[in-house]
Amino acid sequence: MGIATLKKDIIFYFEDEDFFGETAQRILKTAFPTYKTIIHSGHRHAKICVDEVMAQIENLDSIAVVCTDGNLADFVTGWDVVEELKRRGYNGPAIYTGGSQLPTEKTNLYVNQTSKFGDDLISALRKHLE
């Protein structure tokens, strides 16, 4: 009898601009139909953001990849969110989709930097999903 493995089938996408989040969700659902895409605006404190997304899933092990914008609402940054996820045990990839410059001291949190949506994002995600 084998050990069951948990399927990593969730893409978390943190974006505070509704247009970008909605566009990314449509594109990701089309490109990766077997994955559940959860968009979060990243408002409030990073801990609260992570609490809210964790309420939607069973555990961190089901997250396949995390994408974050740079500056989210209310002075929360994407790297704040990634750091909070890592504090809780997430060890999967994170992709930076922000338009602002990623601080040098935060580059180690991400495996890639890409555009918010489109072919660049799809390509970056494919490297970690398939």
pLDDT tens digits, residue range 18-70?
Answer: 898 899 999 999 999 999 999 887 667 788 888 888 888 878 889 999 999 98
Would you say residue 62 lies in a domain? Answer: yes
On whether residue 5 sits in a domain, the answer given is no
Contact at 8 Å (CB) between 72 and 50?
A: no
Residue closest to 61 by CA, chosen among 106, 10, 12 = 10
Q: How many domains does the chain have?
A: 1
- Does residue 101 lie within any of the structural domains? yes
- The C-alpha atoms of residue 41 and residue 39 are separated, in whole angstroms, by 7
Asked if the structure places residue 95 within a domain, the reply is: yes
- Rounded Cα gap, residues 50 and 42, in angstroms: 9
Total-model pTM: 0.89
Residue 3 falls inside a structural domain: no
**Per-residue tokens: 129:** 């999903």
Q: Which residues contact 33 (CB under 8 A, 6 or more apart)?
A: none
Question: Domain with 124 in it: what CATH number?
Answer: 3.40.50.2300
Domain enclosing residue 107, as ranges: 10-129
Q: Would 46 be classed as within a structural domain?
A: yes
Is residue 39 within 8 Å of residue 25, measured between CB atoms? yes
Q: Label residue 5 by pLDDT band (50, 70, 90).
A: low
Has residue 4 been placed in a domain?
A: no
